[in-house]
Amino acid sequence: MLQKLRKLFRSQAATPRANAALEQAIALLQERTQRQESFQPRIIQLETRSRCTGHCSFCLASVGRDPRPDLLMSETLFDKILGELVQWKFVNRLSLYNNNEPLMDKRITDWLRRARKALPLAYLELKSNGTILSMDKIIDLFDAGLDMLYINDYRDAEAFAKGEHRPNVARILKELEASRRFKGHFERNHHFRRVIVSLRKQEEHLNTRAGSSPNRDPLPAPLNLPCLRPFEQLAINPAGLVTLCCDDLLFQEPLGDLNQQTLPEIWLSSPYDRLRLALLEGQRGVRSTCSQCDYRGYSHEMLAELGV
Ligand code: SF4
């Protein structure tokens, strides 16, 4: 089984060119960590309410399965985090969701507006499952300062096979098609879109989500596969705990607490760096979540930004 998995990942990881790029990226990141160079996450996923409206079989956060309490981030904590991002001159991606449906938090539009005002150069992005979304809401979100919206419309096997979106998403699609505002400028042979709608299968089999995915079997042993995600992403839950990866859905292994520490303090701490180095070497056994994770270990966007 383990051999089979390793083979699968080698083939997913790639062409010789991608493997060479990955090796260069690892060398660069090792050097940077050893020099204790200061840097920012490319992506911060900040969950303001731990609830979802979805029924996806691959996700533990789905309705009826979610073991988390319904946590709501306090306004004081949100303001503290925003203040730290301002001081840090944060210009990367801030996503006000993690493992939840962001529109379940009624404050989301207002909080986006505050994030926009505080961080004029950051990239504000949301992902929604579309279940409680309307065109009016989309306009409110973009008016508040959103840069990009992804709508993942998860449907049962029958609707998916017929290519059928849920009725409100089908209406949204029609209105988007008729609106130049959301199509943007025409470049080469396509528009740059600010809203991307995808029809997805509710019963999909995705990755193991660090052992939390209900429709995947546990891995027999940790993979020996580098992971670059701790250089790229940081996730915050509504209680203010910080973990190195969105796949730690239950925040089982937090690296810090924003009620006690600042964001840069946690991100640039020695325990974080030790984990980064271990994961660069492929030691996924270093944490219980990573030991159950089959993520391929890198994003093309990150490799491109590293210039490899
Ligand atoms: S190995 Fe998996 S769980 Fe660990 S940081 Fe990477 S993606 Fe996240």
Q: Does the structure show a pLDDT above 90 at 10?
A: no
Ligand 1 within 6 A of 219 CB? no
Band the pLDDT of 15: cuts 50, 70, 90: confident
- Least confident span in 8-22, 46-60, 118-132, 264-278: 8-22
With a CB cutoff of 8 Å and minimum separation 6, the contacts of 14 are: 22
CB 210 within 8 A of CB 247: yes
Find residue 152's DSSP bridge partners.
Answer: 198
Band the pLDDT of 159: cuts 50, 70, 90: very high
- Ligand 1 centroid – CA 278 distance (Å): 11
Helix (H) or strand (E) holding 191: strand 190-191
The structure's pTM equals 0.92
Q: Does the structure show a pLDDT above 90 at 61?
A: yes
- Ligand 1 centroid – CA 208 distance (Å): 10
CB atoms within 10 A of CB 3: 7
- Ligand 1 centroid – CA 291 distance (Å): 8
Band the pLDDT of 4: cuts 50, 70, 90: very low
CB 149 within 8 A of CB 194: yes
pLDDT, tens only, 247-268: 999 999 999 999 999 999 999 9
Kindly report each contact of residues 115-120 with a partner whose C-beta sits within 8 Å and lies 24 or more positions away, as own/partner: 115/82, 115/145, 116/144, 116/145, 116/146, 117/145, 118/82, 118/83, 118/85, 118/86, 119/82, 119/85, 119/86, 119/90, 119/91, 119/94
Ligand 1 nearest-atom number relative to CA 230? 5
Question: Higher-confidence residue: 120 or 184?
Answer: 120
Residue 269, both tokens: 């701490």
pLDDT, tens only, 217-252: 999 999 999 999 999 999 999 999 999 999 999 999
Residue nearest to atom 4 of ligand 1 (CA): 290
Q: Does the structure show a pLDDT above 90 at 7?
A: no
Beta strands in 202-304, from DSSP E residues, in sequence order: 233-236, 241-243, 256-257
- Ligand 1 centroid – CA 236 distance (Å): 15
Ligand 1 within 6 A of 222 CB? no
- Ligand 1 centroid – CA 212 distance (Å): 12
Residue nearest to atom 1 of ligand 1 (CA): 290
Residue 168, both tokens: 């409100």
Ligand 1 within 6 A of 272 CB? no
Q: Does the structure show a pLDDT above 60 at 99?
A: yes
Band the pLDDT of 190: cuts 50, 70, 90: low
The residue-averaged pLDDT of 134-151 equals: 97
Question: Higher-confidence residue: 191 or 168?
Answer: 168
Residue nearest to atom 3 of ligand 1 (CA): 290
